[in-house]
Amino acid sequence: MLNHLRIINNNLFQPDSLSQNEFERLYISLRKKEGRYFTENEIARLPHVAHSHPLFKEWKIREKSCYHLLNYIKKKGRICNILEVGCGNGWLTAQLASITKGTVTGIDINRAELKKANKVFQKRARLNFVYGDIRSGILADQKFDLIVFAASLQYFKSVKDIVNTAIQHLTLQGEIYILDSPFYAIEEVFPARQRTRKYFSELGFPQMSKYYFHHRLRDLKSYNYKILYNPRSWINKLLFRKNPFYRIVIRNNYV
């Protein structure tokens, strides 16, 4: 299953080829400036980073998110084949591969990150990395028990389009798991967009704003979804839990 695909060097989603190339260039340059572009040795240790790392607190949140995701999969028991959409350097994809007997696939449109992922984790069994866009049909009729969007949903303009595409690749009892992506109330979207534009502009990458989108929880209203963690619930506020991101599961409509 997908073992022959590893990294695909041709751009298989031709309508957005120029856009993808610009996105990759901007994304890598931005990540380097932010301190989020890791060496191969650092990638191999993720989600653990040195306490002195400027993004230590952020990675503690990601570490906990990863912990909850892995526990969710273990408790389900039946989850075998997993897809991570927007896998980047592959650190989470590798974590997923460590707890399942099935095949785990990471897909991304970022060649530079995928090459690092392939090099760092090339010896992991049942782990594949695919270059391409899930919306292009590159996965053909492949089905997965779980499709993960980790800190990647905000780079898709339409929640409906990407979720509908993902659902087509789910097994009958398959699920989509979303983590580490922000969701906003309606009144919060415009201020959030303004903050994003300001942030990217101050870093010298104003063009990046057109690739970053602000989704609302109501965008999921037509799906069979469940909130596993709500950062705004009174109990989480009372317990001073610092993870600002929802954890959400969308079940196949057949469930």
In the chain, where the domains are located: 16-251
**Distance (Å, whole) CA 250 – CA 177:** 7
pLDDT band, residue 246 (cuts 50/70/90): very high
Dump pLDDT digits (tens) for 56-74.
999 999 999 999 999 999 9
Lowest mean pLDDT among 1-10, 100-109, 215-224: 1-10
Mean pLDDT, range 154-166, rounded to an integer: 97
Q: What is the pLDDT of residue 15?
A: 39
How confident is the model over 84-128, as pLDDT tens digits?
999 999 999 999 999 998 999 999 999 999 999 999 999 998 999
Read off φ and ψ for residue 25, nearest 5 degrees: -60, -45
Q: What's the rounded Cα separation, in Å, for the pair 243 and 69? A: 14
Residue 228 in this model has a pLDDT that exceeds 60: yes
DSSP 248: E
Of 3-12, 40-49, 134-143, the poorest mean pLDDT is in: 3-12
Q: Do 3 and 128 meet the contact criterion of CB atoms below 8 Å apart?
A: yes
pLDDT given for residue 218 in this prediction: 95
Sequence-distant (6+) residues with CB within 8 A of 79 are 73, 100, 102, 145, 146
Average pLDDT over residues 185-190: 95
pLDDT at 234: 74
- Checking if the pLDDT of 220 tops 80, the result is yes
Split at pLDDT 50, 70, 90, the class of 237 is low
Does residue 6 or residue 211 have the better pLDDT?
Answer: 211
Residue 52 has what DSSP assignment?
T
Q: Which residues pair with 148 in a beta bridge?
A: 84, 177
pLDDT above 90 for 179: yes
Residue 19 banded pLDDT, cuts 50, 70, 90: low
Edge to edge, the sheet with strand 144-150 lists 127-131, 104-108, 82-85, 144-150, 170-179, 247-251, 224-229
Q: Is the pLDDT of residue 8 over 70?
A: no
| CATH class given for the domain over 16-251 | alpha beta
**pLDDT bracket for residue 2 (50, 70, 90):** very low
Q: What is the pLDDT of residue 181?
A: 97
Q: Quote the mean pLDDT of the chain.
A: 90
Confidence class of residue 155 from pLDDT cuts 50, 70 and 90?
A: very high
